[in-house]
Structure formats: structure tokens, C-alpha cells
Amino acid sequence: QVQLVESGGGLVQAGGSLRLSCLASGRASYFAGWFRQAPGKEREFVAAITAAGSNTYYSDSVKGRFSISRDNAKNTVLLQMNSLKAEDTAVYYCAMRLLSTGIYYYTTQYPYWGQGTQVTVSS
């Protein structure tokens, strides 16, 4: 069983930056993803990183602005968010899966989830 706790959300002006952290209990070297859910919308893929951190993947909407990374020694996955826009406002969730032989973009592919952290970008 893996427990995930996100932190780092908050209120920021458009153009600003935030860094989200996801702390995993126990072993953290799983394939990890960040998702977000805005009010009235479905949860959507934001970014993902392989267990060793060698490969990263991004949605088109955040590519070039967000960066995912991990420190397995600290059981932590990070999401650096720069040039934030009002449309980035959402609850951001960290997710993980043990077995990984490909790229995972869908919520149903991740069995472990954090409780989410709110990111609000004011325009």
C-alpha cells in the first residue's frame, strides 16, 4: 500500500510560479503522474515520470511551463509550475502505479492517489 500526500498549493498571480510536492510513504519508485481537476470538469492528465526519472511526459497545455521531477531517496515527486495561467486553477493530484511498461495518461491506470492540493491562479 502506498500513501501519497501533496503539498505546495496556494494562491498565485498569473505569470507566477508554484512547486508542488508529493510525498510517498514507503517505497516511492513507482511510475508517477500529476493530474488536475477544475470545478465542473473531469480530472485530466498533467505530467508523468518513469520510476527511475529517466523519462517525462506532459500534456500539451502545460508543456514548456511545467516540469516534473523526482527524488527517490526522499520518496518525493515534484511538479514545478511556471508562467501560471488562470486556466491552471484546479485541485492537483499526485498518483502512482507499480507496474509500468508504457506511458499512462488515464486516471483508471493509477491505483494510488493523494488527497489533492488546491492551486488558484488569479488573473
Over residues 64-86, the pLDDT tens digits come to 999 999 999 999 999 999 999 99
pLDDT for the residue numbered 79:
98
For residue 102, the number of C-alpha atoms closer than 13 Å in the C-beta half-sphere is: 5
Residues contacting residue 44 through CB under 8 Å, at least 6 positions apart: 35, 36, 37, 59
pLDDT for the residue numbered 121:
98
Q: What are phi and psi of 60, to 5 degrees?
A: -60, -30
pLDDT for the residue numbered 28:
59
pLDDT for the residue numbered 102:
86
Q: What is the DSSP track for 77-118?
A: EEEEE-S--GGG-EEEEEEEES--SS---SGGG--EE---EE
Label residue 1 by pLDDT band (50, 70, 90). Answer: confident
Dihedral sign computed on CA atoms, order 108, 109, 114, 117: negative
Label residue 5 by pLDDT band (50, 70, 90). Answer: very high
pLDDT digits (tens, 9 = 90+) for 20-67: 999 999 765 799 999 999 999 999 999 999 999 999 999 999 999 999
